[in-house]
Structure 1
Amino acid sequence: MTQRTRTLRNAALLGVSTALLAATAPVTASAATGGPPGTEPLAWTACEGATVDPRQRCATLQVPMDYSDPGGPRIDIAVSRIPAEDPHARRGSLLLIAGGPGGSSLNDPSGKGRKLPRDVRDTHDLIGFAPRGLAPSTPVDCGLEHADLATSRLRPWPAPDGSVDANMVTARRVADACARNGGELIRHLSTANEARDIDRLRAALGERKISAWGVSYGTYVGAVYAQLFPHRTDRIVLDSLDDPDPARVNRAWLAGHEQGVEDTFPHFAAWASRPGNPDRLAHRAADVRPLFLRLAARLDREPIPWPGANPEELTGNVLRQTMLDSLAAPSRYPTLAKLMRAARQGTVPPAPQAPPETVLQNVTAVGAGTLCNDVAWPKSAAEYQEDVTESRAEYPLTAGMPRNAMLCAAWPYPPREAPVRITGRGPSNVLLVQNERDVNTPLSGALKMREALGRRAVMVTVDSTGHDAYLANGNACGDHVVSHFLATGQRPDADTYCD
């Protein structure tokens, strides 16, 4: 279909980062940039890593561990930069905000930032960073047992009979380990503190205002930054949107997977039944869903040993977790199909390669601290059980997981502040981009971010499938709208649909 842009009707809405640095001296933050007292200049040095663009330089920013005690202990935030390619056209800095929590954009100026069109790279320094707690920033670690690093445990799938009892036991064990091994820093991981770190970074860069491209969880970080520091924002792109519900925050993100799977699974089923597909699962798309449900139920009863994996057997919940991971991009569909084809024969493919355990420990601790410190989670097993039972009946593909008890159900620390409520107060300089079919951040939740931002935002909805839209799983029309905004500051006059 021809790519084009048209105004999105209200009914449809409801239904649904070659020039060298100009100078090598550190940038000095001044009162003119709105820098807080004590903001230190950045001293740029060579970055580590074989895949890093040689133009990328790195620095360390020191920020307060506890913003309520700004004179207290400080922590390091690792920062990177590739300067604007046309110094004469330079407008400012474009901050790349990764997803997660637990994701890093430190090497994104050398990676995804290079996909940006030339007129954006000419006018903006590309800035990356490792959020607080995430190495090579000052790191945290919960010291978890190896088995507790399995995704199907960290993302809490109920037992085959729907019970959450084992999940509550796991939550207590993991939360206790984080409290025992995470140190003081784990208590100060939060989205609001990450936003405050970003403002320290903005000042250290010498910028009065900063632009940003936030993806997935990075959309919530970007929205919180724009709420806390509205007049420090230039051009803000939020890509693949989290529901900003101030009462539930990350609980709402997790719950959104129910609808995200329902929105996306039919696209997978059509692919998995296509003639000529070497990973074809069925002759008709309508047969793929019942096939998946039968196979998951069989693996609930009869797991298949899977040496080298974590856990070391293929269970129904491991299959379900693989589905959730694979639906994030059509390029991942073969992973799920190959696993289903093997399991039907009583075999397994080679075990997936996991990141080094030190990395998993660090990423897990950052995610745990942020998710559990942002908002208070219920402590009652009965409340989770009721929600899981209802979810299993309405959304059998996800088997109750999206409403289940994470480790936050046993988190020993109350939130240090209330969640930030996203509103429409501030400059109208936000562009939202969202795929219609997104398993991780579904359109239904994205529309809630759109509603919360009100007059500050314009939204482009893209007829595409996958998580991360701009320059990833979107389409040429949506990419053009976002690129044009970053390069010129011009947005569509109204919410827009790209088919």
Structure 2
Amino acid sequence: MKRQRGIGSALVVVLGLGGSLLAPPAVADGPRAPQIDWGTCPDDVVAEAAPTELQCGTVSVPVDHADPGSARIDLMISRLASTNPDKRRGTLMLNPGGPGGSGLALPALLVARGLPAGVLDGYDLIGMDTRGIGHSAPVSCGLTPDGPYIANIPPYAVDDAAVTAQAKVAERVADQCADHDTGGLLRHLTTANTARDLDRIRAALGEEKTSYLGYSYGTALGAAYASMFPERSDRIVLDSNIGDTHLDRDGMRRYALGMEQSFPDFAKWAAARHDSYGLGRTPAQVRATYLALAERLDKAPVAGFDGSLLRLSTFAHLYKKMQYPKLAQQWQTLADGDGTAARRLLSQNSAAGGVPSSFDNSLSVFLAVTCNDIKWPENVDTYRSGVAEDRRRYPLLGAATANITPCAFWPHAPAEPPVAIDDDGPRNVLLVQNLRDPATPHLGGKMLRQKFADRSRLLSVDDGGHGAYVLGDNPCALNTATRFLVEGQLPDKDTVCPAG
């Protein structure tokens, strides 16, 4: 998942063109001698990774895997090599989520967050910008932070008219993406093609197999790789699962379920600090404060900060407990109607300027992958009905995540069916899932557990927030996943880690 205006890494929708429905072959290059010339990483990666020093290199892949002789693009990958050859067992590919998240500096981020030495000794950590992202043939829809499309979750629709209005915006954005796709790469951004790229990278590294650690959307990519190349997958850890190898409309709507399940953690925290923040003396009162403030901002925004942005910002701040104080301050400012402070909040939460940027690149990739992976409904009435239903069952965010997206008007139809989970393979998939995750609710882990069947085990963590292994602070989750990566010990049965 990716963050826009302080929002978290979410997921979205599809539609469009023609193309063969015959799947390109899952076969990639076999093991051979390493082919990558390692060197210094780009300056922005060096700065983000500091003080950890990474090496970077490129791997050439076909734009269209169904036509290996077609044009090619270079994918940039990074490496933090094992410093203990006696304990090294292979490569651990990493993905931070999105789709649209840059992962070149991810090895350094995990080191900074305390990735255990056993993993650092056992693996070369491989980060990457997947196709279309950052330093790997970046795509652009020409989106700007001051435009009508600012996040991968649509705006909250207060009524049917709001859905109709959003449909016009969504159609313009889809057309804009088509107009900017001068290189023809956009239609080839799919989870299946990215999984094929992973296998090209594995081969270029000279490895017979690769291990993998993916977060959020990275679980969809990892599930696709483990299903398309089961015998080339080594130890697979999927953390914060979206429930399949792609994001569909049901998956998007599950964000609202996640917010309902994670919001009580913040409400309890805020209620215990009522004397400081004044948001309510009980969790129920904090929830009532949120609903009332959002409705008030729907009618009378404060310096451009409306109810939709409040809901989206609140959702994003539930990703990590360390963000709770900032969220409480934001509510205070908006409740006081302080326009000056609200404008400062907006400037902090959005990028300045009106030119394509990493904001544009991230959202463009998010749209392309989610819209290309699977066909989404085209009828606006379908979204109106979903919005009305989810406004009732998930009042905190449901009328946003059920709203219409550019995928309803996407210029390209899926070129192949989404990758099906393959339960016929090695028993090598560990699913890690917080019980209260705002973006990927626990249901996603249960769904993948059922699909992978005995290939997998589910490690449920009694915690909130997005991301458990290394990114969380639960000792049981850290120890269990590390034991699997280092020693290959998958739990005998599904396990629940108590609160840390």
Q: Place the TM-score, normalised by the shorter chain, in its bin.
A: 0.7 to 0.9
CA apart distance, 1:334: 2.1
- The answer to whether the aligner puts 1:106 opposite 2:104 as a matched pair is yes
The 8 Å contact of residues 243 and 445 in structure 2, kept in 1 or not, is answered as yes
The 8 Å contact of residues 65 and 72 in structure 1, kept in 2 or not, is answered as yes
CA apart distance, 1:127: 0.5
Residues 224-259 of structure 1: per-residue CA shift (max 9 Å, x gap): 00000000011110001111177xx33232111121
The 8 Å contact of residues 238 and 432 in structure 2, kept in 1 or not, is answered as yes
- The answer to whether the aligner puts 1:251 opposite 2:245 as a matched pair is no
Residue 308 of structure 1 is matched in structure 2 by: none
Distance change in 2, residues 1:277/1:224 (3 Å): farther
- The answer to whether the aligner puts 1:50 opposite 2:50 as a matched pair is no
The 8 Å contact of residues 156 and 401 in structure 2, kept in 1 or not, is answered as no
Distance change in 2, residues 1:434/1:274 (3 Å): same
Task: Find 2:327's aligned residue among 336, 341, 356.
Answer: 336
Instruction: Determine what percentage of the aligned residue pairs are the same residue.
Output: 40
Q: Which amino acid aligns with 1:328?
A: Y
Q: Which amino acid aligns with 1:315?
A: D
Q: Which amino acid aligns with 1:295?
A: L
The 8 Å contact of residues 328 and 467 in structure 1, kept in 2 or not, is answered as yes
The 8 Å contact of residues 248 and 376 in structure 2, kept in 1 or not, is answered as no
Distance change in 2, residues 1:104/1:34 (3 Å): same
Distance change in 2, residues 1:207/1:465 (3 Å): same
**Aligned partners of 1:94, 1:83: CA distance in 2, in Å?**
10
1:438-457 alignment runs, 5 A limit:
438-457=437-456
- The answer to whether the aligner puts 1:345 opposite 2:345 as a matched pair is no
Residue 368 of structure 1 is matched in structure 2 by: 367
**Aligned partners of 1:222, 1:142: CA distance in 2, in Å?**
26
Aligned residue pairs, count: 457
- The answer to whether the aligner puts 1:326 opposite 2:320 as a matched pair is no
Residue 136 of structure 1 is matched in structure 2 by: 135
Distance change in 2, residues 1:171/1:287 (3 Å): same
**Aligned partners of 1:40, 1:89: CA distance in 2, in Å?**
19
Q: Secondary structure at the match of 2:76?
A: strand
CA apart distance, 1:474: 4.6
- The answer to whether the aligner puts 1:301 opposite 2:299 as a matched pair is yes
CA apart distance, 1:54: 5.7
- TM-score under structure 2 length normalisation: 0.88
CA apart distance, 1:219: 0.4
CA apart distance, 1:38: 11
CA apart distance, 1:72: 0.7
Residues 431-450 of structure 1: per-residue CA shift (max 9 Å, x gap): 11100000100012221111
Q: Which amino acid aligns with 1:334?
A: P
**Aligned partners of 2:186, 2:250: CA distance in 1, in Å?**
22
- TM-score under structure 1 length normalisation: 0.88
Residue 316 of structure 1 is matched in structure 2 by: 307
- The answer to whether the aligner puts 1:182 opposite 2:181 as a matched pair is yes
The 8 Å contact of residues 378 and 409 in structure 1, kept in 2 or not, is answered as yes
Distance change in 2, residues 1:168/1:34 (3 Å): closer
RMSD: 2.0
CA apart distance, 1:498: 0.6
CA apart distance, 1:489: 0.5
**Aligned partners of 2:380, 2:33: CA distance in 1, in Å?**
45
Q: Which amino acid aligns with 1:217?
A: Y
Residue 122 of structure 1 is matched in structure 2 by: 121
Residues 345-383 of structure 1: per-residue CA shift (max 9 Å, x gap): 111442324347511111111111101000111110111
Distance change in 2, residues 1:474/1:125 (3 Å): same
**Aligned partners of 1:149, 1:39: CA distance in 2, in Å?**
49
**Aligned partners of 2:31, 2:88: CA distance in 1, in Å?**
27
Distance change in 2, residues 1:37/1:68 (3 Å): farther
Residue 41 of structure 1 is matched in structure 2 by: 35
**Aligned partners of 1:135, 1:172: CA distance in 2, in Å?**
26
Bigger drift between 137-146 and 421-430 goes to 137-146
Q: Secondary structure at the match of 1:41?
A: coil
**Aligned partners of 2:392, 2:371: CA distance in 1, in Å?**
27
Q: Which amino acid aligns with 1:486?
A: L
Distance change in 2, residues 1:327/1:209 (3 Å): same
Q: Secondary structure at the match of 1:291?
A: helix
Distance change in 2, residues 1:96/1:136 (3 Å): same
Q: Secondary structure at the match of 1:151?
A: coil
Q: Which amino acid aligns with 1:141?
A: S
Distance change in 2, residues 1:286/1:342 (3 Å): same
Residue 213 of structure 2 is matched in structure 1 by: 213
**Aligned partners of 2:386, 2:96: CA distance in 1, in Å?**
30
Bigger drift between 392-401 and 452-461 goes to 392-401
CA apart distance, 1:336: 2.2
Q: Secondary structure at the match of 1:477?
A: helix
Q: Which amino acid aligns with 2:39?
A: T
